[in-house]
Structure 1
Amino acid sequence: MSHNIIQVVTGENGRKKMKCEISQCSKIQGTAIVLIKKNVLNILHDFFDKLTGKTVSLQLISAINCDPEDGQRGKIGRPAYLEKRNTTMSTPLKEGEVQFQITFDWEEEIGVPGAFTVRNDHHDEFYLKTLTLEHVPGHGSIHFDCNSWVYPAKFYKKDRVFFSNMTYLPYKTPMPLRKYREEELEILRGDGKGELQEADRVYDYAYYNDLGDQKHARPVLGGSTDHPYPRRVRTGRGPVDSDPCNESRLPLPESLSIYVPRDERFSPSKNKDFLVNSLKSIRQLIGPELKSLFDREFDSYKDVLTIYEEGIKLPDGPLHISKGKNITLEILNVIFGSDRKFPMPQVIQVNELAWSSDEEFARELLAGVNPVSIRCLEEFPPKSKLNYKQFGDQNSSITKEHIENKLHGMSLDEAIEKNKLFILDYHDVLMPYLRLINEETSTKIYASRTLLFLKEDGTLKPLAIELSLPHPEGDQFGAVSNVYTPAEHGIEGSIWKLAKAYVAVNDSGCHQLISHWLNTHAVIEPFVIATNRQLSVLHPVYKLLHPHFRDTLYINALARQVLINAEGVLEATVFPGKYSMEMSSAIYKDWIFTDQALPEDLKKRGMAIEDENSPNGLRLMIEDYPFAVDGLEIWSAIKKLVKQYCSFYYKTNDMVRQDSELQSWWKEIQEKGHGDKKGELWWPRMQTFDELIETCTIIIWIASALHAAINFGQYPYGGYLPNRPTISRRLMPEKGSAEYRELETNFEEAFFKTITAKPQALLGISLVEILSMHSPDEEYLGQRAPGWTSDTEPLQAFKKFQETLEGIGKRISDRNIDTKLKNRIGPVNMPYTLLFPTSEEGLTGKGIPNSISI
């Protein structure tokens, strides 16, 4: 028995510590929670026997006493081994998790442990979730939040090290732990050589040179002024035989085993397995194989509804589609199910036709899946920023006569002065690629500008749509444009509906490639890599940001293998086809980190102005702008949390400047992670506390709320193809042509011959259904695993953050039933919930996960 006299004392930074006067202390009891990987669950008992047979050893590392014979590293205790399982758990464990007992000899020269090593001499890896030590002499209990796969010792040059949940700036790290802290970061950075394997724990950078293959070349993105791009995680695979600049791709059976550090892969769960299998199956249906399965077009709105009401009838048995390829019923069932009905998208749940109204078309620019592209119109006619020598006159051909009679009695100048005119402008984005897309792919699209007017009731109405093509005699001769204005009946009404469809196609593609992929997935990846390379797990900023990076590297790696690669799902289902990623690279040229802050984004788009008398210091140009209203509350809550959290560790600007890890992190993000943006003056200098707060807030905003707002509405809005078509296959019919006569006599048939074909539509709908789902193990904004830090004030700040988010959720619900706020539900009677903080699992159209995890 041990006898301890324990008293509470206040230590550095106000932390409460246990001071123990020791009498006869000799043993430290611990409990470890271990997860066994899925493919050995069937031999679990055998594995337990081996674990308890002294094949897994742990050694405590002192946080107070150095070993002068080991480079001043902390003294290491004697090995201890996992013991029998604890079957009387008060807290239920997840599937595959097991709790082990472990007993350490307490040695006076160790004192208080600050870390421990793990050596795995078993032949299989396991996941070490936590270790908790009880009644540590001189301290009390100590918790280690590990959350990492431990591979057999043969894969490591040094035994794995895990630190306690204490938090230290680099220079405040106890001396015995400093070498371990530095060495762990060196391991994670790697040496930049060789192909990385599953057991490697290396975070490094590479260009996007892995999208093409031997048959389908794609330009390298990143590392050049022509095609700048954020960096992705390095795999180290060898080059393609035909092109040393491009990395070889994994063949289909192994394509979803692409390297990312093992801790970045999905946690074992049934839902995530479904995601991986679905993506693999979808990849196998790209190309003529899919077309041959579903060769009949949709020919009416009623025909589309059958996929929700009756399901998809699949062929029987194996399908020998093309030489060397066999699509099995099993693969089809993974995607479409056996006569499975697609869930009814929210946009048509209440009213099957309301989506087609002009009001709903406009409302979705404020409360739909892509509410980040609309701008306030500040000059008329809209002007182009394209190079005049290269592209000629690209200014808008919309005239005063087109719109002035639709401004509710206002003059054009008055409407602009009162901020009543808005624009959805995809002209300059698309025009440089329009000739390539229309001539070299099966797509036929326009560059578009859409003008809208803000009515007294707070809703928008479309005024005009301009559709433009390159001049037939050459780009330098400018654009050839036609302007269409609203009409309800006859051929004019049909033409207006087609014009809106062309705009919807542009909005769908730009949303997927730019708002979604580029501005969340791609730009965050370098922050994930740099954080793991330069910030220790002991660092306060690492602890703050780490939950917001969960699964991001892996979902991005899967995307490069299946979605954004040459001949991948996105090229098959969105209008730019093989120019998709190249076009997103052109947009990245204008990407500015600080503009990703929601207030800055709103101001840059003219959707808000500074106003110290308004909530959040901004006055919105459209008071009922659901994305902005809800988003500003979330943004402010995040920023308040970040400020309260960081102020506990950084008391002065000098502490920010003198933080060696923080400065290395920020330098590497600019010079490597976003290396094509190196030297641009808009980067925060990371010299002040305010710059640190703004930077961390932007990162968390992008990874959580921004991604949620533009991702989880994909199926609720885009699951119904006519509302958000992704491809247009022919241009507006010329008067007198057969297509024009068809438009006059049978609009629906002409409409469905113009937009996305049925095979690509079913593929796209299947994809957005998968990407719009929440997994059962999702962690939402404000949620963290217990024990992530031992510091009281940060824990209190997070508790207040959780309470704030609960209040925001209630206010969102209240706004959604306020009949004065017409943009909250619109003609489709679909409440805006994309920024509601939490959600149930599945297809809900709400909830803000901590990270970009799907």
Structure 2
Amino acid sequence: MPNYTVTVATGTQWFAGTDDYIYLTLMGTEGCSERTLLDKPLYNDFERGAVDSYDVTVGEDLGEIELVKIEKKKYWVHDDWYCKYITVKTPYGDYIEFPCFRWLVDDKEVVLRDGRARLPQHDKKAGVAKQHRHKELEQRQKTYRWKEWHPGFPMSIDAKAHSELPRDIQFDSEKGVDFVLNYSKAIENLYVNQFMHMFQSSWGDFADFERIFMRIKNTISEYVMEHWKEDFMFGYQFLNGCNPVVIRKCTEIPDKFPITQKLVENSLERGLTLEEELKEGNIFIADYELMDGVTANATDPCTLQYLAAPICLLYKNSQNKIMPVAIQLGQTPGEDNPIFLPTDDEYDWMLAKIWVRSSDFHVHQTVTHLLRTHLISEVFGIAMFRQLPAVHPVFKLLLPHIRFTIAINTKAREQLICECGLFDKANGTGGGGHVELVQRSMKTFTYKSLIFPEAIKERGMDSKEELPYYFYRDDGCRVWEAVANFVADVVNIYYEKDETVQEDEEIQAFVKDVCSFGMQDFDQCEFPKSLQTKEQLVEYLSIVIFTASAQHAAVNFGQFDWCSWIPNSPPTMRKPPPTKKGEVDLKYIVESLPDRGRSCWHLGAVWALSQFQENELFLGMYPDEHFIEKPVKEAMAQFRKNLGEVTKVIKNRNEGKKLPYYYLSPDRIPNSVAV
């Protein structure tokens, strides 16, 4: 009688093992085996990290094994089980791999196909494999449902809490992403809990900030503390700080910002006029128009909070440093909206820069970080689960890059950015302002802006000769190229020609789901509803991977470095923007900055958000072998080699620098948005 050897691997994460009964059925082209209980007498099967083998004897030849069905049945109480993979050795000596990498919960079954990736047009129309494909997607579409969190937002997962999510996309340990718990731990670890009882009291002076800061500093944050008042540090952050995406080349001074030659001539070094400097490409601008009219946080009636929508003119001096030369704190020019200059009184100029940094913080947190990495990656992830079966090569390619993204976003909506959540405690855009910011930003959010080189070029920031110290651009372009080359290698393995892309009904459904449901068919977003060429497919998948990995790393993991020194990135301001010059002193500035309690919450937040996950998987690391084909594994190896070369270049450049830039070093870029 034919005998098949079945090997089953259990996951290594917490609680992966099970005491429940596990049954297996082999399904072949010529027949099916009997439903077999996998059990070794006097042996504890399916322990965490275990690899167990079993003999399955059948009465007749099953033909080619197409599917493996696994069922889990309760022993005492339901005990979830994580299956990594199953291999089957046939009586003829063949080994067939069936990747699983999913949880079996309750009494539900899982049916697996072998690990060879296949496009939908390559399965027989009436075959068992095609039926399995359709059935898997039908079930996924019932499980992964779209839901509107706020009007005008990208769509989210239909789940109110992390515990409601499908088990396969939950965190392994929910405690690891409990924001309330993590903030409390952070505040305790940072030694700032001693100030929490004085929640609404002001700091005495900058030395007060320094006393708590000196216990929690790191190399960059200490440098920021020492130099934050200096114009070069203010300008540098537009290039390589947390939010390096706002600055753009200025080719014409806007009417709403009435800058004249006389106002800025003392700041121009080359003996050229302002008009000549504009033509030479030495003038840049950061405009926070998005902030204009956003509702300030009013959740605490005892503390008034204020927002501003500044415009900042910047100048590349003869040392190629970006220096601020003029700041207007509102969008409408007038006597009560003066233009602040470096030649003004020390405290007038300092406060104007602080207001720019505070506005930059709000745009960074809500638009650059939340919307343009977290929420858009969730859209890609939901559409992927809804439209691509596990056998599809694009599902296998993208799965590591949406790992835990839906979970972290759900947890954030549950605890962090919900009504009366932690975000409201410290941020001037809490209480609804952050919602307004996302809604406004969605009106100008385009697909093209997610293509990294295009986004850099659109802002006029692409010339390395003109801006030699824009490391975000340089490193980002290197990583983008590595990602795009890797994606092209994988696409070329499965798609022979452009027509293969056009005939792939599942990839077309995925792209349409992103646009029509995830992005709610907003006309201005210009997300494609179909893909016609291999080149378009490579670009699309590169966007998904780069956004979730490199772009998120660039705007997330520097938060403690750049925002922990609170005067450099105030999360709220307690006095309105000045309407006249010459009325500000140090006391006024300190009283404008966040009080002790909000400062402590802010420190806890930026520390917690800057930490890597335990057992973090960085770009190019794919320990779960969803692909079994040798050409894809070779492409992965080449990808890692290319990333290693980028890492080496960045490391060499950073050698000896007081302000190293390492956020886009591949060895520090997690695969997915998971924090």
TM surpasses 0.5: yes
* Aligned twin of 1:831: 660
Correspondent of 1:141 among 67, 88, 95: 95
Give the SS at the match of 2:39: strand
Q: Tell me which residue corresponds to 1:429.
A: 290
- After superposition, the C-alpha distances for 1:702-730 in whole angstroms (9 at most, x for unaligned) are 10000000000011111221221111111
Contact 1:347 1:717 in 2 (8 A): yes
Matched, 1:447 2:424: no
**2:339 aligned residue:** 483
Alignment of 1:96-115 (within 5 A): 96-105=48-57, 108-115=60-67
Report the residue type matching 2:50 in the other structure: V
**Alignment partner for residue 528 of structure 1, among 366, 371, 381?**
381
Distance apart, 1:80 and its partner CA: 2.6
- Does structure 2 retain, via aligned residues, the 8 Å contact 1:35–1:129? no
CA contact (8 A) 2:296 2:306 kept: no
- Tell me the secondary structure at the aligned position of residue 631 of structure 1: helix
Q: What is the aligned partner in structure 2 of residue 28 from structure 1? A: 5
Change in Cα spacing, 1:455 to 1:138, as seen in structure 2 (3 Å) is: farther
Offset at residue 128 of structure 1 (A)? 2.4
Counterpart residue type for residue 76 of structure 1? C
Alpha-carbon distance in structure 1 between the residues aligned to 2:227 and 2:63: 70
Once the two structures are TM-superposed, the CA of residue 663 in structure 1 deviates from its matched residue by 1.1
Tell me which moved more, 647-656 or 768-777: 768-777
Range with greater deviation from structure 2 (428-437 or 410-419): 428-437
* 1:764-803 alignment runs, 5 A limit: 764-803=602-641
In structure 2, distance between residues paired with 1:276 and 1:166: 43
> Residues 226-305 of structure 1: matches in 2 within 5 Å?
228-235=152-159, 257-268=162-173, 272=176, 277-278=181-182, 292-305=197-210
Deviates more, 1:556-565 or 1:295-304: 295-304
Which of these residues, 790, 809, 814, is aligned with residue 647 of structure 2? 809
Match of 2:22 among 46, 50, 56: 56
Retained in 2: the 8 A contact 1:131–1:146? yes
What's the offset of the Cα at 1:135? 3.0
Counterparts of 1:563-712 in structure 2, within 5 Å, are 563-578=416-431, 579-608=433-462, 621-677=466-522, 681=526, 683=528, 685-712=530-557
Inter-partner Cα distance in structure 1 for 2:294 and 2:670: 35
Q: Secondary structure at the match of 2:131?
A: helix
TM-aligned CA distance change 1:585 to 1:86, over 3 Å: farther
Counterpart in the other structure of 1:358 = 231
Q: Which residue of 1 aligns with 2:191?
A: none
* Gap change, CA 1:458 and 1:113, over 3 Å in 2: farther
Deviations 1:304-327, CA, capped at 9 Å, x for gaps: 233244xxxxxxxxxxxxxxxxxx
Cα gap change, 1:678 to 1:660, in 2 (>3 Å):
farther
Mapped contact 1:452–1:464 kept (Cα < 8 A)? yes
Identify the match of residue 757 of structure 1 among 571, 581, 595.
Answer: 595
The alpha-carbon deviation at position 293 of structure 1 amounts to: 4.8
Q: 1:608 & 1:108 partners in 2: Cα distance?
A: 66
Deviation at 1:455, TM superposition (A): 2.1
Select the residue among 145, 150, 164 that pairs with 1:204: 145
Give 1:795 deviation, angstroms. Answer: 0.9
2:366 aligned residue (513, 530, 555): 513
CA–CA distance in structure 1, aligned partners of residues 331 and 643 of structure 2: 47
The two structures have a TM-score, normalised by structure 2, of 0.91
Report deviation, 1:502: 0.4
Secondary structure in 1 matching 2:25: strand
Structure 1 range deviating more: 398-407 or 688-697: 398-407
Q: Does 1:188 align with 2:140?
A: yes
CA distance in 2, matches of 1:85, 1:462: 76
Larger radius of gyration: 1
Note closer, same or farther for the CA distance 1:172–1:500 as it changes in structure 2 (3 Å cut).
same
Structure 1 residue 361: deviation in Å?
Answer: 0.9
CA distance in 2, matches of 1:60, 1:268: 33
Gaps of 5+ in 2: 188-194
Distance 2:251 2:42 in 1: 68
Identity percentage over the alignment?
25
Q: Distance in 2 between matches of 1:207 and 1:274?
A: 23
Q: Which amino acid aligns with 1:419?
A: G
Superposed displacement of residue 100, structure 1: 3.0
Rate the CA distance shift 1:785–1:231 in 2: closer, same or farther, 3 A. same
Distance 1:719 1:470 in 2: 32
**Structure 1 counterpart of 2:345:** 492
Q: Is the 8 A contact 2:444 2:524 kept in 1?
A: no
In structure 1, distance between residues paired with 2:51 and 2:41 = 6
Q: Deviations over 1:733-778 (max 9, x none)?
A: 57799xx3xx44xx2x432211112111111110111111012211
CA–CA distance in structure 2, aligned partners of residues 654 and 573 of structure 1: 53
Contact 2:450 2:543 in 1 (8 A): yes
Matched, 1:852 2:673: yes
2:35 to 67, 79, 82: 79
> Which of residues 250, 263, 271 in structure 2 aligns to 1:402?
263
Paired amino acid for 1:102: Y
**Structure 1 pair 303–79 and aligned structure 2 pair: CA distance change class (3 A):** same
Q: Secondary structure at the match of 2:171?
A: coil
Q: How far apart, in 1, do the equivalents of 2:148 and 2:41 lie?
A: 46
CA distance in 2, matches of 1:274, 1:795: 36
- Structure 2: which amino acid aligns with 1:277? L
What secondary structure, in the 3-state scheme, does the structure 2 residue paired with 1:278 have? Answer: helix
Equivalent in 526, 541, 548 of residue 401 of structure 2: 548
Q: How many residues align?
A: 662
- For 1:182, the aligned partner's letter is H
**Cα offset, 1:278, TM superposition:** 2.3
- Compute the TM-score of the two structures, normalised by the length of structure 1: 0.72
In structure 2, relative to structure 1, the CA distance for the partners of 1:800 and 1:734 (3 Å cut) is: closer
Q: Distance in 1 between matches of 2:466 and 2:122?
A: 48
Pair 1:791–1:557, CA change in 2 (3 A): same
- State the AA in 1 paired with 2:674: S
State the partner residue of 1:416: 278
AA of the residue aligned to 2:262: E
- Aligned CA distance change for structure 1 residues 753 and 151 (closer, same or farther; 3 Å): same
Q: Match of 1:447, SS?
A: coil
Counterpart Cα distance in 2 of 1:186 and 1:678: 29
User: Matched residues in 1 for 2:165 and 2:306: separation?
Assistant: 38
Q: Give the letter aligned to residue 357 of structure 1.
A: E
Tell me, what secondary structure is at the counterpart of 1:432? coil
Gaps of 5+ in 1: 1-23, 66-74, 191-201, 209-220, 223-227, 236-248, 250-255, 284-289, 310-340, 384-394, 472-477, 610-618, 819-824, 839-846
Change (3 A) 1:138 1:453: farther
1:258 shift after superposition: 4.5
**Residue 331 (structure 1) aligns with:** none
Separation of aligned partners in 2, 1:734 and 1:280: 38
In the alignment, residue 437 of structure 2 is paired with which amino acid? M
Residues 518/113 of structure 1: CA separation in 2 closer, same or farther (3 Å cut): same
Alignment partner, residue 388 of structure 1 = none
Q: Name whichever structure is richer in strand by fraction.
A: 1
Give how far 1:164 is off: 2.4
1:170 maps to what in 2? 120
Q: Is the 8 Å Cα contact of residues 57 and 82 (structure 1) preserved in structure 2?
A: yes
In structure 1, how many angstroms separate the alpha carbons of the residues matched to 2:522 and 2:223?
A: 47
